[in-house]
Chain A
Amino acid sequence: MYESMMKVITGYGLISGFAVIGLTMWVSYWLSDTFTKGRLHGSAIAILLGLVLSYVGGAFTGGSKGVVDIPLLSGIGLLGGAMLRDFAIVATAFGVSVDELKRAGFVGVLALFFGVGSSFVAGVAVAIGFGYTDAVSLTTIGAGAVTYIVGPVTGAAIGASSEVMALSIAAGLIKAILVMVLTPFVAPFIGLNNPRSAVIFGGLMGTSSGVAGGLAATDPKLVPYGCLTAAFYTALGCLLGPSLLFLIVRGLAG
């Protein structure tokens, strides 16, 4: 019986994913209503639950894909993979106000540069604090603080050690996770409640999974505005990291 059940669950992975996530959403909204009277969004709780489960999955299996490494839950990998994620993000653009976008266009671009710059400086500063002095390691860790894709891309381009690259990926992952978790709590204090600030937020944070999760937990209406600018962030980071930013750091660090 167990074998037959496993056969169905793993053979129909995506369908199992729908069932598991649906159940998670139901539990989360129940928790939200019962314990926070809806003040903490059900979606925020669901995302938190997802992250906690992924930690447990990683700790148990030693894999790098959270719960997906547990065979019973591998369907979640299909449901939450890049393909369906991007498909659904594009779908949220339906009904976006073109005027709001136009109004935020210029600051959105500005936010992208500020976002890559500030994250990079934060990463480099921390790396200096931890005793790194060579330009290659500093740049790679700084780039990792931009996103966990920019870090290894930059590191590979300028010849960083694999140890430093792993650190830069970890820094980027921490950023993505924190943005997902903290955004709904911080949103009221930074005026993140309208399309324009969402465009700016997307440009400043940039990490696509972080922005996608953080805005979903704050206010689903803001998702398309933030994700639109965030879509350009990683590319900008990959463009600037191994070139301009590396040259600056090398100039300063010698």
Chain B
Amino acid sequence: MIIYGVAFLALCTLTGLFIGELLGKWMGIPANVGGVGIAMLLLIGLGSYLGNRGLFTGKSEQGVSFWAAIYIPIVVAMAAQQNVYGAISGGPMAILAGTLAVVLGFALVPVLVRIGNREPNATVPTKEAG
């Protein structure tokens, strides 16, 4: 049933965000610490576990893949509600600060890709990404 997939996705999302909230509280910072990332790892881990046992297939998968497919329209809706006007009215300093941060970020991508390649393909556990 498709709803099983949607419910599974919902449970992973809620659990991840809940753990993120708890981590934030525990570290004393007013932010969700990686909730979405933890939820993704849960979905990957539990999904493949259930899939291997034949408990998560076909119709149930569609419940997840629909939301993955609707992702881009959601991002477009997200773009349409950014405070673009406010950002540009922030003046030249805000624009310059944001721009420089982005330029540095782009420039560092190839640098870090190279650093990573020199490292041996380590056996870092998945949770390291968090």
Contacts and interface: CB of A to CB of B under 8 A. Distances in A.
A84 interface: yes
Contacts, number: 355
B104 A122 contact: yes
A204 B105 contact: yes
Given A102-B123, A167-B93, A197 B113 contact: yes
Contact of A80 (B75, B93, B96, B126): B75
Query: Binding site of A, secondary structure by majority: helix, strand, loop or mixed?
Result: helix
B75 A65 contact: no
B95 interface: yes
Given A77-B81, A93-B44, A111 B86 contact: no
Interface in A98-141: 98, 101-111, 114-115, 118-119, 121-123, 125-127, 129-130, 141
A111 B126 CA distance: 16
A59 B85 contact: yes
Interface residues of A, number: 119
A79 B40 contact: no
Interface of A: 17-18, 21-22, 24-25, 43, 46-55, 57-59, 64-68, 73, 76-77, 79-81, 84-96, 98, 101-111, 114-115, 118-119, 121-123, 125-127, 129-130, 141, 144-146, 149, 153, 166-180, 182, 186, 190-192, 196-197, 199-201, 204-205, 208-209, 212-213, 216, 220, 223-224, 227-232, 234-235, 238-239
